[in-house]
């Protein structure tokens, strides 16, 4: 881990972020990700080694614990701060919870109350109202947003506006959604190529069109970039005309 951190800094990394929150089985099988929460001594060894190895800030993401009866997030948080971690992100579920069930914010609030370093709350932040409520409840210094932004990259702008003004921001028009989605698709095609690009695009488009299951099903049968773009262009043109 220390050598990997040094290699990334040599390539220009300005920060090293360690993820001890991933619950994926393929990660857990290697005793990585959130599996590390079962071994506080190993957590301490890893964090101490990485912090000592680089001059850039080292941050950490964790969960509230391995399971609901082994919720040791506060202990891990203290280990992290003592090791020199500069900021801590906490997902409000245990490893055993995966991404199911309600997020538990009490542990995040307790960690924030105890630590001196910035604490970032994570988990089920899907709306601007969610963001405001979670910040108020946990007193966290910031928010980390993952799945809530899938198909809704405007969420960050909506949250910022709500926190600044206390009012909701108008939803983007279909024209704006299509402009952003086009940019997203061209990026996918350019990065992954004309074979894998359209395949990977299916899940991304599915997030943008999650309220249109029939449309998503039709889109998933399209095999190449041109047909995908034509299909979506026709859809958004028709919705814009209906709105007008």
Our answer to whether residue 97 is catalytic in this structure is: no
Residue 120 bridge partners (DSSP): 89, 142
DSSP string covering 106-175, please?
A: HHHHHHHHH-SS-EEEES---SHHHHHHHHHHH--SEEE-SGGGTT-TTHHHHHHHHHHHSSPPPPPPHH
Report whether 124 contacts 130 (CB < 8 A): yes
Q: Which of 2, 9, 13, 22 is catalytic?
A: 22
Distance CA 135, CA 233 (A): 39
Distance CA 35, CA 168 (A): 39
Residues with a catalytic annotation lie at 22
């Amino acid at each position: 881990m220390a050598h990997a951190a040094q290699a990334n800094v040599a390539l220009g990394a300005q920060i090293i972020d360690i993820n001890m929150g991933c619950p994926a089985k393929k990660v857990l099988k290697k005793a990585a990700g959130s599996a590390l929460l079962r071994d506080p001594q190993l957590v301490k060894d890893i964090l101490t080694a990485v912090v000592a190895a680089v001059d850039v800030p080292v941050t950490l993401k964790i969960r509230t614990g391995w399971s609901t009866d082994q919720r040791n997030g506060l202990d891990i948080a203290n280990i992290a701060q003592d090791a020199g971690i500069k900021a801590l992100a906490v997902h409000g579920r245990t490893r055993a919870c995966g991404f199911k069930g309600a997020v538990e914010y009490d542990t995040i609030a307790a960690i924030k109350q105890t630590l001196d370093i910035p604490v970032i709350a994570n988990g089920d932040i899907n709306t601007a109202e969610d963001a405001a409520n979670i910040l108020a409840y946990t007193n966290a210094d910031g928010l980390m947003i993952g799945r809530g932004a899938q198909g809704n990259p405007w969420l960050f702008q909506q949250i910022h506006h709500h926190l600044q003004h206390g009012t909701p921001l108008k939803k983007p028009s279909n024209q704006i959604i299509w402009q952003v989605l086009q940019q997203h698709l061209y990026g996918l095609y350019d990065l992954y190529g004309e074979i894998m690009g359209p395949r990977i695009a299916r899940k991304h488009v599915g997030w943008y069109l999650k309220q249109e299951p029939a449309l998503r099903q039709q889109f998933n049968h399209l095999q190449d970039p041109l047909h995908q773009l034509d299909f979506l262009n026709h859809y958004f043109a028709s919705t814009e005309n209906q709105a007008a």
